[in-house]
Chains A and B, each alone.
Chain A
Amino acid sequence: MKKLIGLLLTLAMVMTMAMVAFADGEAIKVGVVNNPPSESGYREANVNDFINVFSEENGYDAGFYYSIKNDEQLSAARQFITDGVDYLLISAAETTGWDSVLKDAQEAGIGVFLFDRMIECDPELFEAAVVSDMAMEGETAVNWLLDQKLDEYNIIHIQGAMGSDAQLGRTGALDAQFEAGTMKKVVQQTATWDEAEAKKIVESVINSKEPFNVIYAENDGMAKGAVAALDEAGITHGVDKDVIVMGFDCNKWALRELLAGNWNYDGQCSPFQAQVISDMIQKLEAGEEIEGLNDMKQIISVEKGFDAREITEDDIATYGLGE
């Protein structure tokens, strides 16, 4: 019993010391408004990234709020302003309706950073926006494919849900090649992100006996579906094999397929914006100017693309999504 009380007392002391340390004003108060992690693997990684970077060890006192609804996000942002945060970080559910909240924040002297998604408003209202360029992602992948210097490109292109941001970005660059005639479209079909549907599409090409040597699937799941069809048909795939397999999203399991040489390429729309924002905040705290913004006050995230011949275990641990 005495031991227990002793332990509790020690704990309490440690806690008070920790709190005193923060009361010194060292910690930067940050409010993060984001979409819920259940939205997608991308969002899950994005949420974890912000939790890891804006941690107590890094000198932050961060509050997090998640909602997929714009009005809930707006009231959460107002709450953060009332609580007197130093910085407000927002990934908005919708692009409109934020003007008054951002003005309130400005009047309260709160620095606002946007990440992942833009908001339609006066760029004066925020410090900077860290966003992805979806088209860039497709271009990175297609440029990688061109670097492979194949004799001919016969491509099976499996698309995501038509009209989604990711689909448009990942399709655009490849469509340009089809039009220029540098690559041949064997088939271009949407599987609406459905893995099993992707398998059926590839099966139908195999059954038609038309030759192909590249599979360009717009996410990892559909690439896996395509590979299942190849496996059943006895067609080899991967590094130095008959068919080149390309996927997107960089799930950990997909990167492991790359490491094993079963796939060739995996592209990523980077969910990791926290460190960039943290660096900018540190600059502002030190009284410096933020550099490297374009005229929209944006910083475009660097999109990663992994080649099966170069990927390492470290890459999987650092950049892989999920488990």
Chain B
Amino acid sequence: MEKTMKKQSGFLTNYSQLLIPLIAVALLVIFNLIRDPSFFSVGIAANNNGFPVLQGNLISILNGASELVILSMGMTLVTAASGGQDISVGALAAIAGSVFVKVLKSGPITGWSVIGGFVLCCIVAMIFGAFNGTLVACFRIQPMIATLILFTCGRSVAYWINGGATPTVESPIITAIGSFIPGIPIPTPILIVVVTGVIFALIFRFTNLGLYIQTVGINQGAARLNGINSVWIKLLAFIILGACCSIAGMINVSRLSLINHETILINIEMDAILAVAIGGNSLGGGKFRMVGSIIGAYAIQMLTITLYAMKVPSTDVKAYKAIVIIILVVMGSPVVKEKFGRFWSNMKRHRQRTGSLAGKEAQS
């Protein structure tokens, strides 16, 4: 009996957590529909290779957010386990992308070399992730400071791997990864996000990883007493984030068949952290819901596309973005939540009272 009670309350709090990101998305959707009722219309048209593909702002948002969504999935785990954030994800994605390009440039581009390139860049990114993880888990350095190292030097490392300004890799296979697979009208990055999401869902369904990460994040000591190796769990979270970086790097390189170490996924670490925060996850670690971060990531992308569609002047884009983010973050803050909750329950009580009064009147 007690067990089911607990489960129910957990269920409820988990869903109330999703309220903020969902409200954010809903507000942006309503705003856009008022501004331009056809904003979300999706059409189908032939691309320059003659294949039918889906088009529209909705597709642009889902497609454009792909890298951010994948990174925010990994960032959620790191945040939950270590109670801190990894600010080196952009730099690490640049390194991973460079390794991917390096492998592809070493010979003719075939299906096998693409797979080999991805596996290698994934391994390299996981090693760098493990480096970050070791600093955080073993040496107990604050995550933001530990990852500052890679944040600072990562893009130089990416430059050393390839040299040159913007190495290019032209191939139909690469275009298929970054754009459309011939015959499939959905952009491939969206499909990659779906696959990654399913993999995470399966991991959480069939292993205790999610629970362990929460436990370590809430109370390390208690976790250790229960036989959970907190060092290993934190390390694992960073390694998983490394793998996420390699997927994001590969998608971004494939989109345009080129890599520019200085600009690839620049400043994305801030957006990824923001996605986790908008998703209602505590940045101090502990309980998390990955779905929240994913919705948060899409909300951020929707905001960017909205600003582009509104033709906001280049110099003002960041200011507009900041205003919306302030509103979202304040809306999700504990104080506002509590005030809002109290207001809601007062309303309920008031309605109940008036309702019962009305009932009595009707009886008499």
Interface residues of A (CB under 8 A from B): 38, 40-42, 44, 159, 162, 187-190, 192-196, 199-201, 203-204, 206-208, 220-221, 224-225, 228, 230-236, 251, 253, 321-323
Q: Which residues of B contact A203 (CB under 8 A)?
A: 60, 64
B313 within 8 A of A: yes
Residue of chain A at shortest CB distance from B159: A38
Q: Which residues of A contact B304 (CB under 8 A)?
A: 200
The answer to whether B48 touches A234 (Cβ under 8 A) is: yes
Minimum C-beta distance from A163 to chain B (A): 9
Assuming the contacts A201-B308, A232-B47, asked whether A207 and B260 have C-beta atoms less than 8 A apart, the reply is no
Partner of B255, one of A40, A42, A192, A228: A228
Minimum C-beta distance from B89 to chain A (A): 15
The answer to whether A204 touches B55 (Cβ under 8 A) is: no
15 contacts between A and B (CB under 8 A): A41-B164, A42-B165, A190-B314, A200-B60, A200-B64, A200-B304, A203-B60, A208-B309, A221-B263, A224-B258, A228-B255, A228-B256, A232-B53, A234-B48, A323-B164
Chain B 224-263: CB-based contact to A (< 8 A → 1; otherwise 0): 0000000000000000000000000000100110101011
Partner of A232, one of B165, B180, B264, B265: B180
Q: Which residues of B contact A322 (CB under 8 A)?
A: 164-167
Partner of B266, one of A42, A159, A192, A251: A192
Q: How many Å lie between the Cα of A233 and that of B53 in the bound state?
A: 8
Q: How many Å lie between the Cα of A253 and that of B55 in the bound state?
A: 28
Q: How many Å lie between the Cα of A221 and that of B253 in the bound state?
A: 12
B315 within 8 A of A: yes
Assuming the contacts A44-B164, A204-B308, A253-B168, asked whether A195 and B258 have C-beta atoms less than 8 A apart, the reply is yes
CB proximity to A under 8 Å, residues B101-136? none
Q: How many Å lie between the Cα of A231 and that of B255 in the bound state?
A: 12
B46 within 8 A of A: yes
The answer to whether B258 touches A253 (Cβ under 8 A) is: yes
The answer to whether A41 touches B166 (Cβ under 8 A) is: yes
The answer to whether A221 touches B314 (Cβ under 8 A) is: no
Q: Which residues of B contact A194 (CB under 8 A)?
A: 260, 263-264, 266
Q: Which residues of A contact B179 (CB under 8 A)?
A: 228, 231-232
B305 within 8 A of A: yes
Q: Which residues of A contact B260 (CB under 8 A)?
A: 193-195, 221
Q: How many B residues face the partner with a CB closer than 8 A?
A: 41
Partner of B252, one of A162, A196, A232: A196
Minimum C-beta distance from A36 to chain B (A): 10
The answer to whether A196 touches B255 (Cβ under 8 A) is: yes
Given contacts A162-B315, A234-B47, A235-B48, 9 further A-B contacts (CB under 8 A): A38-B156, A188-B314, A192-B266, A204-B308, A207-B57, A221-B263, A225-B256, A234-B46, A253-B258
Q: Which residues of A contact B262 (CB under 8 A)?
A: 40, 193
The answer to whether A204 touches B60 (Cβ under 8 A) is: yes
B149 within 8 A of A: no
Interface residues of B (CB under 8 A from A): 36, 45-49, 53, 55-57, 60, 64, 156, 159, 164-168, 179-180, 252, 255-256, 258, 260, 262-266, 304-305, 308-309, 311-315, 317
Assuming the contacts A207-B55, A228-B255, asked whether A40 and B308 have C-beta atoms less than 8 A apart, the reply is no
Partner of B165, one of A41, A206, A225, A231: A41
The answer to whether B167 touches A189 (Cβ under 8 A) is: no
Assuming the contacts A41-B164, A193-B263, A232-B180, asked whether A204 and B255 have C-beta atoms less than 8 A apart, the reply is no
The answer to whether A207 touches B263 (Cβ under 8 A) is: no
Partner of A233, one of B45, B156, B165, B314: B45
The answer to whether B314 touches A44 (Cβ under 8 A) is: no
Q: Which residues of A contact B313 (CB under 8 A)?
A: 188
Assuming the contacts A188-B314, A224-B256, A230-B48, asked whether A204 and B305 have C-beta atoms less than 8 A apart, the reply is yes
Q: How many Å lie between the Cα of A225 and that of B264 in the bound state?
A: 12
Q: How many Å lie between the Cα of A134 and that of B133 in the bound state?
A: 45
Q: Which residues of B contact A201 (CB under 8 A)?
A: 308
Residue of chain B at shortest CB distance from A237: B48
Q: How many Å lie between the Cα of A207 and that of B309 in the bound state?
A: 9
Residue of chain A at shortest CB distance from B306: A204
Q: How many Å lie between the Cα of A212 and that of B278 in the bound state?
A: 36
Minimum C-beta distance from A224 to chain B (A): 5
Q: How many Å lie between the Cα of A224 and that of B260 in the bound state?
A: 12
Q: How many Å lie between the Cα of A189 and that of B167 in the bound state?
A: 25
Q: Which residues of A contact B252 (CB under 8 A)?
A: 196
The answer to whether B45 touches A234 (Cβ under 8 A) is: yes
4 nearest A-B residue pairs (beta carbon): A41-B165, A190-B314, A204-B308, A231-B48
The answer to whether B60 touches A207 (Cβ under 8 A) is: yes
Q: Which residues of A contact B314 (CB under 8 A)?
A: 159, 162, 188-190
Minimum C-beta distance from B181 to chain A (A): 13
The answer to whether B311 touches A187 (Cβ under 8 A) is: yes
Minimum C-beta distance from B76 to chain A (A): 23
Residue of chain B at shortest CB distance from A40: B165
Q: Which residues of A contact B36 (CB under 8 A)?
A: 208
The answer to whether A233 touches B164 (Cβ under 8 A) is: no
